Amino acid sequence: MQKFLTFGVNHRGIAIAIIAAITIFCGFGLDKLRIDTSFDSLISDNDPTKQVYERVKEEFGSDNTTIVYARSSELWTQDRLAALEDMHFALEDLPFVQRVDSLFNVRSIRDRDGMIDSSTVLDGVPFDDAEMQTARDNALYSPLVVGNFISADGIVTAINVTIVKDPDNPNFDHYAYGAIDEAIAPYADQFEEIFQVGPPRVNADTETGLISDLSLLAPLSLGVLTVTIVLFLRSGLALVFPVITSAISLVWGFGLMGYFGIPINILSAMLPSLVIVIGSTEDTHMLSTYLNGIHSGDKQGTGAQRRRYAVLFLIRHLGLPLVLTAVTTTLGFAANSFAEMGLMRNFAYAASIAIAANGVITLMLVPSLLSLFGPLRSNLHNKSPKQEVSDPEEEGYRGLIGAILKLCYAAARHPRYVIGGTVVFTVFFGIFAFQTKVSNDPIAFFKPKHPLVQDVNTLAETLSGMEIFYINLSSTKPDAFRNPENLRRLAQIKDYIVQDGRFDTALSIADHLSLVNREFHGGDVEMMVVPDTIALVDQYLLFFQRADLENYISHDFERANMVVRHNIHNSHDLKQALVDLDREVRRIAGPDLTVNLVGQNLMINNAADDLIAAQVQSVGLLLLVIFIIMSIVYSSLVGGFLSLVPNILPIIAVLGIMGLFGIPLNPGTATVAVIAIGIAIDDTIHLLSSYTHESLRTADRGLAVRRTVRGQAVPAISTSIALAAGFLVLSGSSFSIIWQFGALSAVAMIVAMIADLIVTPVLMSMVRLVGLYEILTLKVGKDVLTNSPLFTNMTSYQIRKAILLSELVPFKAGDRLLEQGTIGRDLYVILSGSAAVTLDHSHGHTELDTLAAGAVLGEVGFITQQQRTANVDAVTDGEMLRLNADTVQKNMRLYPHIANKLNLNIARILGMRLASTSNRLSRYEKQEGLT
């Protein structure tokens, strides 16, 4: 890994050439990039109703209906109606249009003084006033027409355009929207208000919003980035690196998306912002550490030497955490790649590619660039130079950061309050978290003030909602729906829908037959019922063309289809209404009829449930992966757990806030949790990594914590604020799901920051957490440890566990490490340097032994609490590992094997010591002539 990290410095030319080559290659991929705003991407691949939907759509026609809304207070004049008729025909001429329904072809059946009048509502434009009046009366008379094609006040009319989507044209919706708009444009000035709503418009507006997001959000994010970086790092040059890395990352990301055929969607439109914001946090950490390197390095060297030193300093201090954070952030975005919804899956692919690219580019390019052009002066350190301060509490950061630090220190002194507060916080937000509702609705993606949403609501208020679904009933009996019994069931279902009131309209063949029945009985509303006999059903059916009924009944009358329209754009409410409807329909239909509620609209809403599954799955997966990685890094499950706490808190906060303020879990907000973890874990990793460094330097955990917090506060606060600000930029989006995502992510960043600076330190101070083994092996080499008699015959895992219980103690030449006659229960292993063992006695003192790296001392006191039998003095500077007997005993209960081996080795050491002592004794006796 070090090789990879130093590659950018040691082989600058190659590194830059590789990056340039990949960038050029990816640049060509940009051409292949396409936009996908289709509804299909909002539907789960495994939706169980998909097949039935396709079959029903094939039989009863597409539910892909665009409604052209036209309002004129002078609607019933020849000019307006002529315009309307022209529009009807112009729409009919569009190649993708399956059928057009309007006042000009919808059937009107009406009693006129005992005579039956069966015709279309408008059979051409009426010639005179009397005919005009009749036509208006006819339109407002039929319950099949009012609310569908004419408003109750007679001034709004609708043309329903049923569309068959061309699956081979990826730009179909945009094209269809444009074509419909073009078809109605010549007549638009005849009406006070005219617009189309339907899937093509929704998709086209989504695409427009997406493009405006792309062009608006990226510059805004850059602005925020500039302000925060200049503010916190006080270096103009520092801004250049994030901009370069972000730009290259985006070329890679979008280029690879082009090659892999991953389209841009409304979520990935925020990718530039995300890459700029998230990518820059790494850059900030790197620059800040680089500047520390410049500061602490030799001021006399040449610029190149000083830069090289600072870059290597940066890699040494940040190498592991940088790789870890790049991996976890990428995983955060990738966690949704298993989502069943194409929208989220494609975003997961796109974002993880871009973020991974950003990681690779940052790690390769920034060291290269810094070693070439890095600043040689740090404005961060222009105050009195930071020296080793005994306790950071005495060192003054002023202003906001000083205040935050004071708060952190105060919190660290009151761990109970912190833990208590955390529990209260968790419970409070946790309760609200469970009230969070799901939503997946393309209209709800837009902000409420968006013209599309307004138009959709206008349509729903004057006519009926835009959303359509089918209640499909099928029987195995021939001609089942000629049978009045089954037709009455349809009527009962409609009665329920009308009474329930949540859906706007419902139409079936029963309505058509009831209407004829009513008109055959002089228009008596009491007779708006299904005919009594099969024969009458058959005879009434003669009034209809097949085209009048093809949406409602199969040719063999075995399957009936009820068309329901509504304006519910909240998945939770819709789901509830559908559950109730489904239950009622099944109850009414009885056991002989098969019931299916189908529609694209329903499948999109069904996918809302997948959001929960995706959420649980991706958050769970990510937490597990982080837990495993961090447990391995710190050789401790506690370490793994510790890493999770500050990342779970923001998720609870986010879900709680969503429940509290009624923000739904939608494709945008469902990605917040994983992304928040992916980003927030960065600070945790830096924090823990710094804490392990500090722990090596002092046995006082409180001090180590304070030093850690002091060291990490500035980058943590600055990156969190920069990220939060960057996310808040997303509130400029055209879509509510994006601004909700932005706002919640900003909250998550701030909560994560607080958790990292207040809760994590308290937890850290309670447990011993050191990734010591890695650092030791890095420092002294593995051999010293494996060759030490203390660790003879132990596996590296066992050695690691034992070492985790120890502490690193540095010593200087002349230090007394053990004092004869004192009592101590510590055992030491010398890691570097050497020490001499001497024995004080009445005649002076005798030098017994010289100890080198790997040697063990203090083993007697470790076993039995008794006076030290000799002095040990450091001969050179060095370091040793300290194991405390009580700590080892307490902690080794769970690891009897390791304890056993450790004890055996100590016994062996003691045995050897005894042997050498007896040896020495016998020599001494021989010398004295005692034998």
Partner 1 sequence: MDEVSARHDRPFEFEEQAMILIDDRGNTEDREVRRYAREWDNGLYRYLLVFDSPAGVRGVALLTWQNKGASDDQWMHLPAYGREMKRSADGGKRNYFMGTDFAFEDMTSEEREKFRYDRQPDETFEIKDETGSVLDTVDGYVVDAYPKDEELASQTGYQYRRLYVSKDRFFIRRIDFFDRRGRFLKTQYSWDMEQIEGDTWRANRVLMDNDKLNHQTLIQVKSRDLTEGSVPARMFEQRWVTTGRHLR
- Binding positions for partner 1, rule: CB under 8 A: 89, 110, 112, 114-119, 123-124, 127, 482, 520, 531, 533-547, 550, 555-556
Shortest Å, Cβ 133 to partner 1: 14
Shortest Å, Cβ 555 to partner 1: 4
Q: Which two tokens stand for residue 421?
A: 């507060």
- Residues facing residue 68 across a β-bridge: 159, 196
Shortest Å, Cβ 122 to partner 1: 12
Judge residue 388's burial from the number of C-beta atoms within 10 Å of its C-beta, 0-12 exposed, 13-18 middle, 19 or more buried: exposed
Radius of gyration for the alpha carbons in the chain, expressed in angstroms and rounded: 38
Distance CA 239, CA 252 (A): 20
Nearest to 392 by CA among 641, 655, 714: 714
* Shorter beta-carbon distance to partner 1: residue 115 or 525: 115
Shortest Å, Cβ 95 to partner 1: 15
* Shorter beta-carbon distance to partner 1: residue 482 or 901: 482
The maximal CA–CA distance of the chain, rounded, in angstroms, is 149
Shortest Å, Cβ 115 to partner 1: 4
Shortest Å, Cβ 56 to partner 1: 15
Shortest Å, Cβ 186 to partner 1: 15
Shortest Å, Cβ 535 to partner 1: 4
Shortest Å, Cβ 531 to partner 1: 8
Shortest Å, Cβ 517 to partner 1: 9
471 φ, ψ (degrees, to nearest 5) = -105, 110
410 φ, ψ (degrees, to nearest 5) = -60, -45
Shortest Å, Cβ 537 to partner 1: 7
* Shorter beta-carbon distance to partner 1: residue 556 or 925: 556
Distance CA 177, CA 188 (A): 15
Crossing angle of helices 303-334 and 600-633, rounded to 10°:
130
* Shorter beta-carbon distance to partner 1: residue 126 or 198: 126
* Shorter beta-carbon distance to partner 1: residue 539 or 822: 539
176 φ, ψ (degrees, to nearest 5) = -65, -40
* Shorter beta-carbon distance to partner 1: residue 539 or 865: 539
Shortest Å, Cβ 54 to partner 1: 16
* Shorter beta-carbon distance to partner 1: residue 537 or 827: 537
Q: 3 and 15 in contact (C-beta within 8 Å)?
A: no
Shortest Å, Cβ 553 to partner 1: 12
Q: Which two tokens stand for residue 895?
A: 């690891």
159 in helix, strand or coil? strand
* Shorter beta-carbon distance to partner 1: residue 536 or 809: 536
Q: Which two tokens stand for residue 494?
A: 């409609």
* Shorter beta-carbon distance to partner 1: residue 129 or 556: 556
Distance CA 18, CA 367 (A): 15
Q: 149 and 158 in contact (C-beta within 8 Å)?
A: yes
* Shorter beta-carbon distance to partner 1: residue 83 or 506: 83
* Shorter beta-carbon distance to partner 1: residue 110 or 437: 110
Nearest to 285 by CA among 759, 754, 718: 718
Shortest Å, Cβ 495 to partner 1: 24
Q: 374 and 18 in contact (C-beta within 8 Å)?
A: no
* Shorter beta-carbon distance to partner 1: residue 46 or 545: 545
* Shorter beta-carbon distance to partner 1: residue 276 or 509: 509
38 in helix, strand or coil? coil
Distance CA 290, CA 238 (A): 11
Distance CA 566, CA 460 (A): 8
Q: 361 and 248 in contact (C-beta within 8 Å)?
A: yes
Q: 36 and 170 in contact (C-beta within 8 Å)?
A: yes
* Shorter beta-carbon distance to partner 1: residue 85 or 683: 85
Q: 284 and 232 in contact (C-beta within 8 Å)?
A: yes
Q: What is the DSSP string of 813-854?
A: TT-EEE-TT-B--EEEEEEES-EEEEEEETTEEEEEEEE-TT
Q: Each residue of 359-382: b (16+ CB within 10 Å) or e? A: bbbbbbbbbbbbbeebbeebebee
627 in helix, strand or coil? helix
Q: 288 and 379 in contact (C-beta within 8 Å)?
A: no
Q: 357 and 18 in contact (C-beta within 8 Å)?
A: no
Shortest Å, Cβ 117 to partner 1: 4
- Residues facing residue 828 across a β-bridge: 857, 882
Shortest Å, Cβ 52 to partner 1: 19
Judge residue 383's burial from the number of C-beta atoms within 10 Å of its C-beta, 0-12 exposed, 13-18 middle, 19 or more buried: exposed
* Shorter beta-carbon distance to partner 1: residue 89 or 417: 89
Locate tokens 């005994």: which residue?
Answer: 390
* Shorter beta-carbon distance to partner 1: residue 107 or 201: 107
DSSP3 helix / strand / coil % (the chain, rounded to 5): 65, 15, 25
